[in-house]
Amino acid sequence: MHLEDYIDHTLLKPTATIAEIKKLCADAIKYELYAVCVHGCHIALAKNELNGSPVKLAAVVGFPLGAMTTEAKVFEAKECISNGADEIDMVINIGYLKSGLGEFVENDIKKVKKAIGNTVLKVIIETCFLTDKEKETACKIVMDSGAEFVKTSTGFGKGGATYEDVILIKKIIGDKVKIKASGGIKNKESALKYIDLGVSRIGTSSGPSLLL
Question: Which residues does the annotation mark as catalytic?
Answer: 89, 151, 180
Residue pair 19/48 in contact by the 8 Å Cβ criterion: no
Spatial CA neighbour of 43 closest among 68, 75, 5, 76: 76
C-alpha 98/C-alpha 33 separation (Å) is 35
Beta bridge partners of 150: 123, 179
Beta bridge partners of 87: 58, 120
Residue pair 15/42 in contact by the 8 Å Cβ criterion: no
The total number of residues shown for the chain amounts to 212
Beta bridge partners of 178: 149
DSSP string for 88-145: EEEE--HHHHHTT-HHHHHHHHHHHHHHHTTSEEEEE--GGG--HHHHHHHHHHHHHH
